[in-house]
Amino acid sequence: MPAAPPAAPDTATDVVLVVDFGAQYAQLIARRVREARVYSEIVPSTMPVAEMLARNPRAIILSGGPSSVYAEGAPSIDRALFEAGVPVFGMCYGFQLMATTLGGTVDDNGAREYGRTSLAVSKAGSTLFEGTPTEQPVWMSHGDACSAAPEGFTVTASTDVVPVAAFENDEKKLYGVQYHPEVMHSTFGQQVLEHFLYRGAGIEPTWTTTNVVEEQIALIREQVGDKRAICGLSGGVDSAVAAALVQKAIGSQLTCVYVDHGLMRKGETEQVEKDFVAATGAKLKVVDAEKRFLDALAGVSDPEQKRKIIGREFIRVFEQAQLEILQEEGPEVAFLVQGTLYPDVVESGGGTGTANIKSHHNVGGLPDDIEFQLVEPLRQLFKDEVRMVGQELGLPEEIVQRQPFPGPGLGIRIVGDVTKERLDLLREADAIAREELTAAGLDRDIWQCPVVLLADVRSVGVQGDGRTYGHPIVLRPVSSEDAMTADWSRLPYETLAKISTRITNEVAEVNRVVLDVTSKPPGTIEWE
C-alpha cells in the first residue's frame, strides 16, 4: 500500500470564484487572476449562491455573457451574493447584473459598443483606477448600457455613449466595469483586475505553480489509491507534463503507453522513447498500432468522424495494454491519465454555455463505453501554465518548450482520406518546415506551425520543363498565448522561400506551397 496521501493544500480560503455567465472569456478571467498569483476556479452561474459562499471565497468575479439582463431566461444572481460581505467584481454582463440587482438602471438606449473604445476615468484615485491614465483604451462588447448606478455606488468611469462604464462601493467592496479588463486590448485591464484583488479584496499574491503541483499530487494520490494507472503519452507537452505529474504522485503505479498509430511526425517515436524516459524514469510501453488505426480510418474524410475514430481506437489500444500490464505486473489498471487542457474542453462543448466547435479526441471523441476512470490533472490549465508546471517538475526544455502537436496527429492535417502514402508525404513536408524554422531561430517566436496536406486538391505546375499535377501544402504558422485566440505569424520571406523551395524540390507529388493568413477566430488553428 502506498503511503497515506498528504493533506491537500488549503486553497479553500484563498480561492477567487469566477462565475461563468456563458462568456467566451470566462477561463481567460481565471487565467488573469492566476497571473496575479491568486488561485481561481470557475463555477457555473447556475450554482446556488449558498453553495458559492460555502466555498468561503476570498472574492467573486462575475463574467460577461451573451444575454441581455432583461431577456427571458437570462442568467440571474441572488441578491444575497452582494450582501454576504464577500468582495465582488462584475465585468460586462456581470456588471449590468450587479447594477440591476441592486437597484441601478440598465436599458437598451442604443448605446452599443463593440471593440476598442476610449474610457474616461472620472475618479483617478479610486480603488480600481489608481495609477492608471484618465483616458485609456478598453475592449467593449455590449448592447444594453448602465445609465444609473445603484445607491451607495460612485461612478468612476464613462465613455462617450455610456454614462456609467464603471462604479465602485468601497464600503461593501462591490466593483464593476462595463468592459472586458481580461483581454489584452484593454491596455490597463490587468492592473485594474489586480487593484480589485489586492486593494478591493485585500488578497496577498502568494499562489504559484508550486501550489498546482502540490495540490494535484495530493488529489491524484487520493483518486488512484493503491490501483494502477496508464498514461496515454503522445510526445507532446501536455501528455508529458501530465505523465510527469502523475509519476511524481504514484511512482511505479504508473505505466506510460505510447501508441505509435502511424500518424506521428518524422522521428517522433524515437524522440519519445529517448527524451521522456530519460527525463522522468517512467516505465514506457510502446504499442505498434499503425495498421489498426489506418484500417479504421480507411475511406474516412470527415474531420469529426476522424477524431472520434482516433479517440475510440486509442481507448481500445489502452484497454489491450491494460490486460497486458495486469498479466505482467498486477494489480488492476483502473485509471487512464490524459493531458487534457481547458481549450480542449471548451472547443469540445464542455465549457459552461459553450458550443461544440470540434471534438478533441480526448474529450468529445471518447467512446461511451470507456471503462477507465480518467485522471486529468491539467484540465483547468492553459498551455503556458502547463509549461510552467513542467518546469517546476524539472522536465527538460526540449519537452517543456516543444510546440503543440494534436493528439490525433497528422490524421487531422490531411484534408481528405488518410493513407500511409499521404502520411509519408506530409511527414517529409512537415520535417522540412520544422528544420528551417529551427535553423532560422524562430521556434520561440511562433506558437505552432501546422503543415497541412490538401489531399483532395491538385493543381497544375511545371517542373523540369514538364507538366505536373500535384498537391498543395499549407503552412499555418500562428502566434498565441493560450490557443483560445491566435494570429498568423509574420515569418521572414527568406524563411518561407526556403521552406517552399525545399518542399517542392524534395517531396514527391507536391508542386505548390501556400500560406494560411487567417486569425482565430474566425479560423481554428488546425484545419480539421
Q: Residue 172 is placed in which grid cell?
A: 461593501
Q: Which helix (H) or strand (E) holds 386?
A: helix 383-392
Task: Quote the pLDDT of residue 11.
Answer: 40
| Percentage of residues of the chain with pLDDT beyond 70 | 89
State how far the Cα of 389 lies from the Cα of 244, in Å rounded to an integer: 10
Inter-residue contact 300 to 418 (CB < 8 Å): yes
Does 363 have pLDDT greater than 60? no
Q: Which of 413, 395, 421 is nearest to 449 (CA)?
A: 413
**303 pLDDT exceeds 80?**
yes
Q: How confident is the model at residue 357 (pLDDT cuts 50, 70, 90)?
A: very low
3 state DSSP class of 503 = helix
- Residues 370-412 pLDDT 10s: 677 889 999 878 888 898 999 999 888 878 888 878 878 899 9
110-119, 127-136, 329-338, 434-443: least confident range: 110-119
pLDDT at 465: 66
Phi, psi of 100 (to 5 degrees): -70, -35
User: Is the Cα dihedral 140, 143, 144, 145 positive or negative?
Assistant: positive
Residue type, 33: V
Q: What is the pTM of this model?
A: 0.68
Q: What is the mean pLDDT of residues 10-31?
A: 78
Which one from 113, 146, 168, 180 is the annotated catalytic residue?
Answer: 180
Whether the CB-CB separation of 358 and 524 falls below 8 Å is answered with: yes
Q: Indicate the angle between helix axes 209-224 and 237-250, nearest 10 degrees.
A: 60
Active site residue 180: yes
What is the DSSP secondary structure assignment for residue 272, as one 8-state letter?
I
Single out the residue of 159, 195, 179, 191 nearest to residue 63, CA to CA: 179
Determine the pLDDT at residue 330: 64
Catalytic residue among 182, 268, 392, 526: 182
Question: Which triple of cell numbers denotes residue 436?
Answer: 528551417
Tell me what pLDDT residue 146 has.
Answer: 85
Angstrom distance (rounded) from CA 311 to CA 368: 11
d(CA 473, CA 458): 10
Mean pLDDT of 208-227: 90
Q: How far apart are CA 475 and CA 478, in angstroms?
A: 10
Handedness of CA 356, 361, 367, 372 (dihedral sign): negative
Q: How far is CA 195 from the centre of its chain?
A: 26
Residue 162: CB atoms within 10 Å: 23
Measured at the CA of 82, the angle between CA 80 and CA 83, to 5 degrees, comes to 65
Give the angle subtended at the CA of 27 by the CAs of 21 and 32, to the nearest 5°. Answer: 120
The 8-class DSSP code of residue 6 comes to P
Q: Write out pLDDT tens, residues 473-516.
A: 999 999 887 676 788 999 999 999 999 999 999 998 999 999 99
- The x, y and z cell numbers of residue 297, run together, are 480510418
For 184, residues 6+ apart whose C-beta sits below 8 A from its C-beta are 481
Q: pLDDT category, 331, cuts 50, 70, 90?
A: low
Which amino acid would we find at residue 299? G
Mean pLDDT score across all residues of the chain:
85
pLDDT at 5 over 60: no
What's residue 1's pLDDT?
30
User: In this predicted structure, what is the pLDDT of residue 113?
Assistant: 66
Burial class (CB in 10 A: 0-12, 13-18, 19+), 419: middle
CA-nearest of 475, 408, 365, 432 to 264 is 408
Q: Taking the chain, what is the end-to-end CA distance rounded to the nearest angstrom?
A: 45
Residue 359: predicted pLDDT: 42
Q: Which set of grid coordinates corresponds to residue 109?
A: 438606449
Q: pLDDT tens digits, residue range 123-176?
A: 888 999 999 999 999 888 766 788 889 999 999 999 888 889 999 999 999 999
Q: Which three cell numbers stand for residue 24?
A: 467566451
Rounded to an integer, what distance in angstroms lies between the CA atom of residue 454 and that of residue 414?
Answer: 6
Q: Which residue has the higher pLDDT, 448 or 111?
A: 448
Q: CB–CB of 189/183 below 8 Å?
A: yes
**Statement: residue 351 has pLDDT above 70:** no
pLDDT of residue 365: 45
Q: In what order do the strands lie in the sheet with 88-91?
A: 40-44, 16-20, 59-62, 88-91, 174-177, 166-169, 154-158, 113-121, 135-142
Please report the pLDDT score of residue 2 as a whole number: 31
pLDDT tier, 369 (very low <50, low <70, confident <90, very high otherwise): low
Local confidence band at 263 (pLDDT 50, 70, 90 cut-offs): very high
- For residues 35 and 7, the model is more confident at 35
Given a cut of 50, whether residue 352 has pLDDT beyond it is no
Most confident of 75-79, 196-200, 268-272, 357-361: 196-200
Q: Residues 51-109: pLDDT tens digits?
A: 999 999 999 999 988 888 888 888 889 999 999 999 999 999 899 999 999 998 888 76
Write the CB contacts of 88 (distance below 8 Å, at least 6 apart in sequence). Answer: 59, 60, 61, 62, 81, 82, 98, 173, 174, 175
How far is C-alpha 279 from the chain's CA centre? 25
* pLDDT top residue among 365 and 324: 324
In the predicted model, is pLDDT for residue 301 greater than 90?
A: yes
**Is the model's pLDDT at 112 over the cut of 60?**
yes
Burial profile 16-34: b = 16 or more Cβ within 10 angstroms, e = fewer: bbbbbbbbbbbbbbbbbbb
Give pLDDT, residue 466.
75
Q: Which residues contact 56 (CB under 8 A, 6 or more apart)?
A: 12, 13, 15
